[in-house]
């Protein structure tokens, strides 16, 4: 069943996940939050009606794990979880940053849980996936930004699921490349760090981050010969020429994989949508990225950095065969 979205994706997501982790699908005649402006008809999501979705949800709760899918109110949760694709979020569910597009809670996080890497490894080995993405909240409160916890998680996940390709989507470690090296030393198959928007809007969108710092991380990762990935949201007020300029710079840096998706405002407190990017524009940008030399671009209204990332598993293996990660 496909569902049209309104401009409040948290409302949609809460139907899937419930306020306190309980499933709460809408009931006919029941009072519901007021409907907002509808998104264009090309933005439709799948309702979570398959048993797999509910099985996954139950196991995530049993293992006391967090997912960015639920915490960030991702509109794709119905589709992704129904095919056992989820993105586990480590280092807790409270972020030290307050990006204006993101629905993950901001505040003072709990200490990193030393048992979490084992539980993440257990969950992923049970799912027996070909590829998965793990992400984290930003942990500016930790001296290493959570790098050692990342490394332990990668090590345990790879030991439990040796055939699965593992993509890590990290923050910027405040630009500390030693911390990045700690993560890379654990040998993830893809190192991903999102730029989120174009340079002109970066300060507005990612309040505590900086473009030069993110470029520094991506360049460093690529210079280590790791498979390197980044992503941007569109519809935040950027011009297409600005997006093309970023794509050219990423190609110069030899970034391997790029994702481009439509920004959807999680709630009224978040940045408004400046415009809806038409599906044809995503196709044109993907073609442009290809011409610039970026190996793989996933572009479309509902693309997120982890959306259908499992479709890239073979390409990732192929790239890694041609490189020696230092
Ligand atoms: S797109 Fe990524 S974050 Fe969203 S539901 Fe799918 S796996 Fe989760």
Rounded (5°) CA angle 259-58-3: 50
Best mutation site among 16, 48, 65, 80 for ligand 1, i.e. most ligand atoms within 8 A of its Cβ? 80
Q: What is the pLDDT of residue 38?
A: 83
User: Could you give the CA distance from residue 278 to residue 187 in angstroms, rounded to a whole number?
Assistant: 38
Contact 238, 200 (CB under 8 A): yes
* Complete DSSP assignment for 181-244: HHHHHT--SEEE---BS-HHHHHHHSTT--HHHHHHHHHHHHHTT--EEEEEEE-SS--HHHHH
Best mutation site among 9, 56, 66, 85 for ligand 1, i.e. most ligand atoms within 8 A of its Cβ? 85
Contact 151, 182 (CB under 8 A): yes
Rounded (5°) CA angle 85-8-235: 80
Among the listed residues 322, 244, 240, 239, the one whose alpha carbon sits nearest the alpha carbon of residue 290: 244
Contact 215, 250 (CB under 8 A): no
CA of 78 to the centre of ligand 1 (A): 9
Q: What is the pLDDT of residue 45?
A: 87
Which residue puts its alpha carbon closest to atom 5 of ligand 1?
A: 77
Q: What is the pLDDT of residue 46?
A: 86
DSSP secondary-structure letter at 318? Answer: H
3-state DSSP call for residue 20? coil
CA of 74 to the centre of ligand 1 (A): 6
User: Could you give the CA distance from residue 170 to residue 209 in angstroms, rounded to a whole number?
Assistant: 13
Beta-bridged to residue 35, according to DSSP, are none
Q: What is the pLDDT of residue 25?
A: 39
Which residues are CB-neighbours of 287 under 8 A, at least 6 positions away?
none
Q: What is the pLDDT of residue 49?
A: 84
Which residue puts its alpha carbon closest to atom 2 of ligand 1?
A: 306
Q: Is the dihedral of CA 91, 95, 99, 104 positive or negative?
A: positive
Neighbours of 280 (CB within 10 A): 8
Per-position pLDDT tens, the chain of length 326: 666 565 555 545 554 454 333 333 333 334 444 455 689 999 988 888 889 999 999 999 999 999 999 999 899 999 999 999 999 999 999 999 999 999 999 999 999 999 999 999 999 999 999 999 999 999 999 999 999 999 999 999 999 999 999 999 999 999 999 999 999 999 999 999 999 999 999 999 999 999 999 999 999 999 999 999 999 999 999 999 999 999 999 999 999 999 999 999 999 999 999 999 999 999 999 999 999 999 899 999 999 999 999 999 999 999 999 986 54
**Does residue 57's CB lie within 6 angstroms of at least one atom of ligand 1?**
no
Which residue puts its alpha carbon closest to atom 8 of ligand 1?
A: 69
Best mutation site among 43, 71, 76, 124 for ligand 1, i.e. most ligand atoms within 8 A of its Cβ? 76
User: Could you give the CA distance from residue 257 to residue 229 in angstroms, rounded to a whole number?
Assistant: 5
Which residue puts its alpha carbon closest to atom 1 of ligand 1?
A: 307
Q: What is the pLDDT of residue 216?
A: 97
Among the listed residues 145, 160, 158, the one whose alpha carbon sits nearest the alpha carbon of residue 193: 145
Summarize pLDDT for 144-166 with one digit per residue, the tens: 999 999 999 999 999 999 999 99
Exposure on the CB side of residue 200, measured as CA atoms within 13 A: 10
User: Could you give the CA distance from residue 298 to residue 5 in angstroms, rounded to a whole number?
Assistant: 21
CA of 236 to the centre of ligand 1 (A): 20
Q: Which ligand 1 atom is at minimum distance from the Cα of 305?
A: 2
Q: What is the pLDDT of residue 29?
A: 38
Q: Which ligand 1 atom is at minimum distance from the Cα of 307?
A: 1
Contact 189, 227 (CB under 8 A): yes
**Does residue 68's CB lie within 6 angstroms of at least one atom of ligand 1?**
yes
Neighbours of 105 (CB within 10 A): 13
**Does residue 302's CB lie within 6 angstroms of at least one atom of ligand 1?**
no
**Does residue 89's CB lie within 6 angstroms of at least one atom of ligand 1?**
no
**Does residue 307's CB lie within 6 angstroms of at least one atom of ligand 1?**
yes
Q: What is the pLDDT of residue 259?
A: 97
* Complete DSSP assignment for 153-193: HHHHHHHH-TTSEEEEE---GGG-HHHHHHHHHT--SEEE-
Contact 324, 143 (CB under 8 A): no
- Residue 231 CA, distance from chain mean position: 9
CA of 86 to the centre of ligand 1 (A): 6
Which residues are CB-neighbours of 207 under 8 A, at least 6 positions away?
97, 98, 99, 100
Best mutation site among 66, 306, 308, 311 for ligand 1, i.e. most ligand atoms within 8 A of its Cβ? 306
CA of 326 to the centre of ligand 1 (A): 30
CA of 80 to the centre of ligand 1 (A): 6
**Does residue 76's CB lie within 6 angstroms of at least one atom of ligand 1?**
yes
């Amino acid at each position: 069943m496909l569902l049209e979205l309104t401009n409040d994706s948290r409302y949609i997501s809460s139907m899937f996940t419930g306020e306190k982790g309980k499933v709460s699908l809408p009931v006919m005649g029941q009072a519901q939050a007021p409907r907002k402006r509808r998104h264009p008809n090309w933005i439709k999501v799948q309702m979570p009606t398959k048993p797999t979705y509910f099985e996954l949800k139950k196991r995530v709760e049993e293992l006391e794990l967090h997912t960015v899918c639920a915490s960030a109110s991702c509109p794709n949760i119905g589709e992704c979880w129904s095919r056992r694709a989820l993105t586990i979020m480590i280092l807790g569910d409270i972020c030290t940053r307050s990006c204006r597009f993101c629905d993950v809670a901001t505040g003072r996080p709990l200490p990193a849980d030393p048992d979490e890497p084992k539980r993440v490894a257990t969950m992923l080995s049970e799912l027996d996936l070909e590829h998965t993405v793990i992400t984290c909240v930003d942990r500016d409160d930790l001296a290493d930004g959570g790098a050692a916890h990342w490394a332990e998680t990668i090590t345990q996940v790879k030991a439990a699921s040796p055939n699965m390709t593992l993509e890590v989507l990290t923050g910027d470690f405040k630009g500390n490349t030693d911390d990045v090296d700690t993560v890379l030393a654990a040998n993830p198959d893809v190192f991903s760090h999102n730029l989120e928007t174009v340079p002109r809007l970066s300060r507005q969108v990612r309040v505590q981050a900086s473009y030069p710092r993110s470029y520094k991380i991506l360049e460093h990762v690529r210079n280590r010969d790791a498979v390197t990935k980044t992503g941007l949201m569109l519809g935040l007020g950027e011009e297409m020429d600005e997006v093309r300029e970023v794509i050219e710079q990423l190609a110069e840096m030899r970034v391997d994989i790029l994702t481009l998706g439509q920004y959807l405002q999680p709630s009224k407190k978040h940045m408004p949508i400046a415009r809806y990017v038409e599906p044809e524009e995503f196709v044109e940008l993907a073609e442009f990225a290809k011409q610039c030399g970026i190996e793989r671009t996933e572009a479309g209204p509902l693309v997120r950095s982890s959306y259908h990332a499992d479709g890239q598993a073979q390409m990732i293996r192929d790239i890694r065969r041609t490189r020696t990660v230092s």
